[in-house]
Chains A and B, each alone.
Chain A
Amino acid sequence: MGKIWVDDNWYEVNPDQSLLQVCLELGFDLPYFCWHPALGSVGACRQCAVKQFRDENDTRGRIVMSCMTPAAEGTRISVKDSDAAAFRAGVIEGLMLSHPHDCPVCDEGGECHLQDMTVMTGHNYRRTPYPKRTFHNQYLGPLINHEMNRCIQCYRCVRYYREYAGGTDLQAFGLRNIAYFGRQEDGILESEFAGNLVEICPTGVFTDKTLKQHYTRKWDLQMAPSVCVHCGLGCSTSAGERYGTLRRILNRYNGEVNGYFLCDRGRFGYEFVNSEQRVRQTLSRQDGRLKPVPKKKAVEQLGDILKGKSRVIGIGSPRASLESNFALRSLVGPDRFFNGMSDESSHLVSLMAEILRQGPARSPSLREIENSDAVLVLGEDVSNTAPRIALALRQSVRQQPMEMTDKMKIPRWLDHAVREAVQNDTGPLFIATPNETRLDDVATDTYRAAPDDIARLGFAVAHALDFDAPAGADLSDDVRQMAERIAQTLKAAKRPLVVAGPSLNSEAVIQAAANVARALAKDGKEAGLSFTMPEANSLGVSLLGGGKLSDAFKEVEEGKADTVIILENDLYRRAPARSVDNLMQAVRHMIVLDHLTTPTSSKAEFVLPAGAFAESDGTLVNNEGRAQRFFQAYIPEDDIQESWRWLLDMMKAAGKAEAGSWNVLDDLVSAAAGAVPALAKITEAAPSSKFRILNEKVPRSPHRSSGRTAMLANISVSEPKPPQDPDSALAFSMEGSPAQPPGALTPFFWSPGWNSIQSVNKFQSEINGALRGGDPGVRLIEPPQGGSAMYFSGPQKAFQARADEWLLVPLYHVFGSEELSNQAPAVAKLAPKPYVALNAADAARLHVEDGAQIEVSLDGTRQKLPVVVHPDLPKGIAGLPAGLVPLEGSGLPAWTKLSRS
C-alpha cells in the first residue's frame, strides 16, 4: 500500500493502480467515460481530470487525467480544485455539443452514464447555436438497437467488441467530430457477446432491442437477483419485470463468475418466459384433451392418485432447481427418483463430479480461468456450449504476453500501451475439437479430430507429462509431437488449465482431461480442470443423486411403476422417441410440471404450470460446483407457481409426513442440505428469508419506482396490498432498507448519483474485486489437499473412417442448441436451420454440393437435410446441429448412413 493525498487528506491506496481507480474506490465521484473497469485506461475522453501537485509547496499544480496517472506513493491531487472541476464541466459541454438531448425518448434514460456524469459535473447549459451532426443508424440484428446520434465518441464499444471480445465487424470509421461506430454495412453483429454493448455504451447508442418491444424504465422495473439458466456456467443476472412480464436481463456483477459480461444467449434468452408456449393454467386430460381445471381440484385429484396404490416414480431435471428436484425426490422416495438426464449425460456428469471430488486438480471459477496462463481445450467448442468461458479464455491468452509488459514497467491498466507492446502475441491455447471454433483466431495450435482421437491426444499429453500416465497407443508422429509440445507448454506455465466437457458424449475425452490435469498437479502445478456442464443444474442434480433414465423406463416396463411425475423435462430430448412413447403408453398416470408446452407435456394426464426462473426461487449448481440462489422477480399470474411448491402441495394432499413442516424455500434448502451430504453447504449460497437490514427487507424496486399506486388504478383506486414474500428476504416493493444488501441479494445496482450499471463500483470491495461481503454463491466441491488420484487407463483405437458410414457428431450453436432460449423469438431468429455438415472431400465422395439435400438415417428415423460444407471436419465425420434436428434423443456420436436424395 502507498499513501496519497486527495484534497489535503491522506489515504492508503494500492500504488499499482491508476488514480481514477483508487479515487473511485475511495468513494470520490469522479466522472469518466472511456475508462471501464474491465477495459482499463486509454485517456480518450479527458473526463476524469484532476489537479496534481508536485509537492506540498506546489500551489499551482497541473491538470492530469486520473485514469492515465499512477497512484504512486506520495501523489498529491485535488478533485475539488476549481480548474479541474471547470475542465470536467467543459469536457461534458464538448461531448454534448452534438448529443441529441433526447433523454425522454431514449431507452437509456434513467440509467444513463452520460446523464449521471453530466449532472455530476454541473454542466447544464448549451452555449452553441450551431446545428448538430447526424448519422445514419444501422440494422444490427434482432438483439441490438443502434442510434448513432447519441454517440459521444468514447470508443468503449469498439474497444470492448474488438479488443476484449475478439469481434471484427464493429469498427470505428471516420474521424474528428464525426467518428462513426458501426458495421461496414447493415447486418447482424457477429459476436455472441454483442449484447454487452448495451452496458458498455455509456449512453443510448447501443440498446437492448428486446426490451424495446416492451419498454420499461429501470426505475419502474421490479427486479431480483437471478442466475442464468441457459448453460451450465451460472452467470449472475438481474431479471426485471413489469405488469407481469419479464422485460429484460441485465448483467449482475459477480467477481468470481461472470464479472461484467454475459453472452447473448444469457441476456436475450429470457423471452421464453413470456412465450405463447407457456403453460399458464392447470391442465388435466378430459375426453382425451388437456383442459383447464381449478388448481385446488387438480391437487386433490393428484393427492388421491398418490395416496392410493399407485407405484409412483419421479423424473427430475437438470434444468430445474435443486429444491424442486429435492421435493420430487422426497415425494417419491430417493430410490424412486431418477435424475432426468439422458443416460449418457448422467454418466458423464457423475464421472466429472467424481473427478472433481477426487482432485487434486480443482475446478476454477471463471475469474481463475481468465487468469490461466496456458490452456488445453479438449473436445469442447466453448463458444457455443459455455460461451462465457470462451470470453474468459480470450483474456487468458494475454496473461503470458503481459508478463513481458510487466517487465517493461507498463502498468496492466494502461490498456492501449499494453496492447501496443503485446501486438498480436498470445499465450498458449491449444484447442482440440472436431470442427473449427470461434476461438481459433487466438489459438496457438488446433487439432481437428474425431472424439476418440481427441481423447488419445489428451492421454498422450498426460503421458508426456508423467510417464506413469498411460499413453495413447499407436499415435502418429505428428500427434505425438503435438502432445509433447502441449505438455512442455503446460508444464512451463504457472497456472495451467484443462477445459473439457460432455458435449461430444465421450467418456474418454473427460478421462483424458482428468489425466492431464492430474499429471500437472502431480508435478506440483496448481492445475485447473474446468468441465462444462450440459445444463444449468446438471451438476446439482448429479450431486443430489438418482437413478438413470433407462432404469425409470425399465421400472415402468416391468410394471414396478404405473405413475410418473416428470419435472420440467421434455423426455424426447433425453431418450429415443421409441422408449419415451413406450413409457407413456405403459403408465397409468403421467403428471408433468413445466413452463412450456413440450412434446412430453402434451401427452400428460396432468400438466402443472411451473414458474420459470424469474417466477421462482431456488438453487442451481454451476459447472464450478458453485451453488447459487436465484430469486423470484415477480409473482406470476394464473396458476403458475414454483415446481417445488406444486410438489409440496401434492405431498400435503397425499398426506406425506415430512411435508407437514415444509412451507417455504428455507425449509426445503435446509432439508436438502441435511439429507444430502454433498449439498450440505447450500444454505450458505444466499442469506435466508429471515435476513433483514435494520429490521427491513431488501426492496426489489428502486426507490424511484413511480407507478405502484397508479398501475392498477384503472381497476380500482385503492392500492392493493403488495404481495408478501415468505421465501426470501426480498420485498415486492420499493420500500425497504436503502442500504446495500449482500451480493447474493442485490437485485440491481444503484447508488446516489449513479443510476446506470456503472454504479457497480460502489458495490465492490475494490474495483474488479469481490462484491462487498463476498461474491454470491458457495463452492460445494473442494478436492482434498495434497491428495493424489489415479490415472484413467485409456488407450483406445484410433478413429477409422468407414467406407459407407459416417460418424455423426453433435455440433453446438450458441443460438439454437439450448432448449429454453430457443423459445425466445430474438434468439430463435439467430438459430441456424437444421443441416448436416461434411468436409469437402466427403461431400465430393457423396457427389453433393453445399446446400444439396441429403438423407440421414439414424435409429430407424430418416431426415432430409441440406449439406453444409465445413472444411475443418475430419474425414469420415459428419456433424448435426445439436438441439435443432428432431433426432434429439438419439445419443450422438453414432454411425449413420448418408445418401443423396
Chain B
Amino acid sequence: MKILVIIKQTFDTEAQIQLQDGRIQGEGVKKILNPYDEYAVEEAVQLKEKNGGEVIALGIGDAEFDGTLRHVLAMGCDRAVVLDDPALLSADARGQAAALAAAIRPLEPELLLCGYTMIDCGDGEVNIRLAELLGLGQVMAVSRLELEDGQVTAASEQEGGQLVASGRLPLLIGVDKGINEPRYPGMKSIMQGRKKAKAVRHLSLADLGLSPEELQPVCRIQETFLPARRSAGTVLTGEAPEMARRLAELLHGEAKVI
C-alpha cells in the first residue's frame, strides 16, 4: 500500500512570538514537526509495518525543512518529496493546496495521512482544501483508525462524543493526539534517516506545471499584532476558608461572573 503523509514545520510550542517590522519573526526560533503530523507519521509507519508498502512524506519547505525531513525519515518514512519554491512559501492556503494536489496526483497514494490541525495557523485548511481538490473523502480529528482490505473505519473526536465513519480508500485522514505514541528513533534509525535524506526529491513550481500567477494569494495579511499583555491582579493569602470566601465574593460582586 502506498501511504502519503503530509507534513509541515512549525515553531516549537514553547516559542515566544516576536514581531519585527510588523511581521512574525522566525529567525532563530526553534522549529519542530507540527506535533499532530508526528502522530500521522507514526500511524503511517505502523500501517506499513503491518501491511507492507511504502510511506512517502510530502511537504512545503526550504533549506530549514531539512531537520524535520531527517526526523520523519528516521521515524520510518521511506522517502520524501519537498515542494521547494519561493512562490510557495508566500502562497496562501489556496495556493499551497493547489501545489500539493499537483504533486500528489502522479503519486496516486491509496491513503493520505496528516495532522488534523496545525499549531501555527490553528486549522487544517490546506489539507482539507486538498481533499476537496482531489475529490477525496475525509475524516478529521481521528483518534482510532482501522484498515482492512481497503475498508477504513475511523473514530473522529467531535463535541460531546465520537463519530465513527467508514469508507473505502483512497481517503484523507487527519489524526488527533491520542491515536498512538510516536516513536523515538534510535541511533540506527537516525543514520538510516540521514542516508534517505540524501535522496529527497525537490520540486519547483515549474516541475509541478504551475505558474506563480496561479498561486496569487486571495488572502492577504493587513496587520499582525500581539495580544494585550495581561497583568497580575489581586493575590489573596491567608487561611483557605477565608481566601475561598473572599474569592467567591470578588467573582460575584466585582467581576460579576458567577
Q: Do A and B bind each other?
A: no
- Chain A residues in the interface with B (C-beta under 8 A): none
